[in-house]
Structure 1
Amino acid sequence: MAEDKSTCGKGFHDSSVHVDVKEYYGNKLKQTSDLKTNACVTPAKPIPAFIRQALKKVHPEVTARYYGCGLVVPEGLEECIILDLGSGSGRDCYMLSQLVGEKGHVTGIDMTEDQLKVARTYVDYHMQEFGYKKPNVSFVQGYIEALTEAGLKKNSFDIIISNCVVNLSPDKRQVLAEAYSILKDGGEFYFSDIYSSDRLTEEIKNHKVLWGECLGGALWWKDLLRLAEEVGFSPPRLVTASVITVDNKDLEDILGNFKFVSATYRLFKVPKGNTKPCQVIYNGGITGVEESFQFDHQYTFKVDGVVDVDGEVASILTHSRFAGDFTIQPSGGPGGSCGVKPTAKVEDPFELVLQLEKKGPGSTTGGCCSTKSATCCK
């Protein structure tokens, strides 16, 4: 289960990991309570009312067969073309289809036919429920390491999301490379996943239950930064992080001193190194964050406020779907704090968790799973 050796190519076939994961999620798991580790709890961050309403309209069977956790919902989704990696029973796809609207589109891709059968069964039901004249959701059977082979076109998606799925792949680099390939220029890969405090041992990586429960395939967080850069993404922006606990003595003994967090990162397909630090003014208007937009753990933009940002964020805001939501001006412009460095950027999710814990209860931000939860998957 080497992390960086490509298992993809023309005519992609199941690896032993894919076979095991499909067996786990297609046959062994019939509902959330079948997970061997504790089920995830409610995300630490409150769910906005408009998202809660969207989730209420999802068919109960789709929700019951959903093995994800938390929520992975970036901002500014109206009329966007979105791909959900490892879409499972389709809960997130049906929720997102309401947020993108009838002019947008959501595609879900999953390798497990049993899960896709549930998702496809309720397409007509949801379109009628949402009042859409034609479906804006579709589901594709395929592998997240081979998106183009599954028929997804390059440079065709505005946003890719993934909720605790990348860790189930034996080839994370190929997942990132394929995601980069099918994103449009300015596109975003916004995803939550499980990360480890160091590279895992072969014993852990070859443990079927630990892999199925999203621990055995956890990526060392430093490897995410390296792999993202190698395939072309801008440096990952850490949004949230929270601790994962495993309340299972047998699994704890195997895991030893390794620690795990769930974390949300946003990666963008934008030019690198071409934008200087500058000042930005949030114009407001993004649905759900009209007054205050938390871009990542470092930057929160309040409407009409002037904020100094580093070159990475300046490039993202200039070249992504957020460009129209900000006024960009050179550093030292009116009302700014020229010469004041932005707050320190944290890339290590474990460090972010420690910082939040020092701030006291209520400060932890919810990633894929919340504090005091165990592992979680699709």
Structure 2
Amino acid sequence: MSNNLDKKSCKPYDSIHSDVKEYYGKRLQSSSDLKTNACVPSAKPIPAYVRKALAGVHPDVTARYYGCGLVVPESMEASRVLDLGCGSGRDCYMLSQLVGETGHITGIDMTEDQLAVARKYIDYHMQKFGYKKPNVDFVQGYIEALQEAGLQEGFYDVIISNCVVNLSPDKTKVLREAYRVLKDGGELYFSDVYSSSRLPEDVMSHKVLWGECLGGALWWEDLIQLAHDVGFSTPRLVTASVITVENPELEKLLDGYKFVSATYRLFRVPKPSSEEKCLVIYDGGITGSEETLEFDAQHTFKVDEVMEVSAELANILRCSRFASEFTFQPPGAPSSPCCAKPQAVSSNPFELMEQLGSATLSPNTGGCCGAQESCCK
């Protein structure tokens, strides 16, 4: 595969790692020091339970947060979670509250200064959350080398990452290592920066552009191919937000290239045995999604409503932690014209971004009842 995943003409890996450590450990002291808006908030509204969890994070930890979206997968209770490139630990402490005392969060980062902030506030957060013992720990290491960092194979239910994969000089190794440490049925749920096409070497070798999460951005189509090569399911696009560059010098270097912050979810599940579409019903048991579950940009499940899904998505739901949250119709069951259909939105994050900006996307508009009510009870 010819792409910019591991481009050999770029700087050596050690040099890139060193530059990133310096940028995030020394040059950036808060998010106000960033030169672009690559660290943009999620395009989707933040649920109340997540806002409450974010409010429980110490301000010093939040001040050193440089993420580009919101990485809060659903159905997290008692899960083992790994945060790739955890930085100061904001997302770890947020998710600590959602997995509960019986769950566990591990954050890994290569930047000692960021980890020092994260570790400083472990006791503070455990006392605040009322936990008898910490359910969070932090590991120094590289996201391309999880085995060397001592992370166990097939151990994690969910892996998250927030605007970090683009900073790696070897995206292939990152996804392979993520796949290795996930359990069967596990999920990689991450926000990152993507480019509208493959980037030239002068952009990829620029220190500031790399540090600002643009120089190392993948072309979004390369992510799809890479996921398949590693063994993941097809990446499912959740949401996307525009990235702008207001620095004249950097803007000139990037002339003709566009960037977007996008959230994808990838699953470690076997390939479906059939290509037949399936009918599923969401039972409504997920905290924060009691009435509707916004699984991705195409699929918003309503409680007790029949929805037609692809064989691949049905397989994902059946083989992952979501299995107990859905009722599955037998394969080949006849589809009613009243059943909800996936939304007709693009899998291209740049096109989705325009759709999100130009219209309010209503769930299940493909069904005979539209978004207002369901006749499939």
Fold in common (TM above 0.5)? yes
Deviation at 1:332, TM superposition (A): 6.2
1:308–1:338 Cα contact (<8 Å) kept: no
Tell me whether 162-171 or 45-54 shows the greater mean CA deviation: 45-54
Q: Does 1:115 align with 2:114?
A: yes
1:194–1:263 Cα contact (<8 Å) kept: yes
Alpha-carbon spacing, 1:338–1:359, altered in 2? closer, same or farther (3 Å): closer
1:242–1:262 Cα contact (<8 Å) kept: yes
Determine the structure 2 residue equivalent to 1:241.
240
2:160–2:190 Cα contact (<8 Å) kept: yes
Determine the structure 2 residue equivalent to 1:330.
330
CA offset digits 1:161-195 (Å, max 9, x no partner):
00110000011111000000000000000001110
Superposition pairs for residues 105-144 of structure 1, below 5 Å?
A: 105-144=104-143
Letter in 2 for 1:297: A
Superposition pairs for residues 284-303 of structure 1, below 5 Å?
A: 284-303=284-303
| CA distance in structure 1 between the aligned counterparts of 2:340 and 2:81, rounded to whole angstroms | 37
| CA distance in structure 1 between the aligned counterparts of 2:288 and 2:43, rounded to whole angstroms | 17
Letter in 2 for 1:292: T
Tell me whether 41-50 or 326-335 shows the greater mean CA deviation: 326-335
Superposition pairs for residues 85-124 of structure 1, below 5 Å?
A: 85-124=84-123
| CA distance in structure 1 between the aligned counterparts of 2:42 and 2:163, rounded to whole angstroms | 14
Deviation at 1:346, TM superposition (A): 3.3
Alpha-carbon spacing, 1:268–1:39, altered in 2? closer, same or farther (3 Å): closer
Determine the structure 1 residue equivalent to 2:371.
none
CA offset digits 1:74-119 (Å, max 9, x no partner):
1000000000010000011001000000000000000000100111
1:279–1:309 Cα contact (<8 Å) kept: yes
Q: Does 1:196 align with 2:195?
A: yes
Deviation at 1:46, TM superposition (A): 1.8
Deviation at 1:351, TM superposition (A): 2.0
CA offset digits 1:47-89 (Å, max 9, x no partner):
1111111111111111112222432101000000000010000
Deviation at 1:277, TM superposition (A): 1.8
Alpha-carbon spacing, 1:14–1:351, altered in 2? closer, same or farther (3 Å): closer
Letter in 2 for 1:326: F
| CA distance in structure 2 between the aligned counterparts of 1:92 and 1:240, rounded to whole angstroms | 18
Letter in 2 for 1:191: F
Determine the structure 1 residue equivalent to 2:220.
221
| CA distance in structure 2 between the aligned counterparts of 1:341 and 1:335, rounded to whole angstroms | 10
Alpha-carbon spacing, 1:221–1:44, altered in 2? closer, same or farther (3 Å): closer
SS at structure 2 position matched to 1:263: strand
1:331–1:338 Cα contact (<8 Å) kept: no
Alpha-carbon spacing, 1:37–1:342, altered in 2? closer, same or farther (3 Å): closer
Structure scoring higher RCO (CA < 8 A, sep ≥ 6) equals 1
Q: Does 1:3 align with 2:2?
A: no
Q: Does 1:212 align with 2:211?
A: yes
Letter in 1 for 2:241: S
2:92–2:105 Cα contact (<8 Å) kept: yes
SS at structure 1 position matched to 2:329: strand
| CA distance in structure 2 between the aligned counterparts of 1:335 and 1:206, rounded to whole angstroms | 52
Deviation at 1:129, TM superposition (A): 0.7
| CA distance in structure 2 between the aligned counterparts of 1:44 and 1:223, rounded to whole angstroms | 23
SS at structure 2 position matched to 1:265: strand
Determine the structure 2 residue equivalent to 1:160.
159
| CA distance in structure 2 between the aligned counterparts of 1:347 and 1:116, rounded to whole angstroms | 35
Determine the structure 1 residue equivalent to 2:26.
27
SS at structure 1 position matched to 2:193: strand
Report the identity percentage.
68
Alpha-carbon spacing, 1:207–1:89, altered in 2? closer, same or farther (3 Å): same
Deviation >6 Å, runs of 4+: 338-341
Determine the structure 2 residue equivalent to 1:282.
282
| CA distance in structure 2 between the aligned counterparts of 1:18 and 1:258, rounded to whole angstroms | 24
- TM normalised by structure 1 equals 0.89
Between the two proteins, the alignment pairs up a number of residues equal to 357
Unaligned runs of 5+ in 2: 363-377
CA offset digits 1:141-170 (Å, max 9, x no partner):
000000111000010000000011000001
| CA distance in structure 2 between the aligned counterparts of 1:52 and 1:321, rounded to whole angstroms | 24
Tell me whether 201-210 or 338-347 shows the greater mean CA deviation: 338-347
Letter in 1 for 2:123: D
Unaligned runs of 5+ in 1: 7-12, 364-378
Deviation at 1:285, TM superposition (A): 1.5
Deviation at 1:44, TM superposition (A): 3.2
- TM normalised by structure 2 equals 0.89
Alpha-carbon spacing, 1:354–1:79, altered in 2? closer, same or farther (3 Å): same
Alpha-carbon spacing, 1:230–1:39, altered in 2? closer, same or farther (3 Å): closer
| CA distance in structure 1 between the aligned counterparts of 2:344 and 2:47, rounded to whole angstroms | 28
Q: Does 1:170 align with 2:172?
A: no
| CA distance in structure 2 between the aligned counterparts of 1:353 and 1:39, rounded to whole angstroms | 14
| CA distance in structure 1 between the aligned counterparts of 2:258 and 2:242, rounded to whole angstroms | 9
| CA distance in structure 2 between the aligned counterparts of 1:352 and 1:180, rounded to whole angstroms | 27
Deviation at 1:352, TM superposition (A): 1.6
SS at structure 2 position matched to 1:27: helix
Letter in 2 for 1:278: C
| CA distance in structure 2 between the aligned counterparts of 1:279 and 1:359, rounded to whole angstroms | 28
| CA distance in structure 1 between the aligned counterparts of 2:99 and 2:31, rounded to whole angstroms | 27
Letter in 1 for 2:61: V
| CA distance in structure 2 between the aligned counterparts of 1:323 and 1:314, rounded to whole angstroms | 10
Alpha-carbon spacing, 1:342–1:114, altered in 2? closer, same or farther (3 Å): closer
Determine the structure 2 residue equivalent to 1:369.
none
2:238–2:295 Cα contact (<8 Å) kept: yes
Determine the structure 2 residue equivalent to 1:51.
50
Superposition pairs for residues 340-359 of structure 1, below 5 Å?
A: 342-344=342-344, 346-359=346-359
1:308–1:337 Cα contact (<8 Å) kept: no
Determine the structure 2 residue equivalent to 1:230.
229
Determine the structure 2 residue equivalent to 1:259.
258
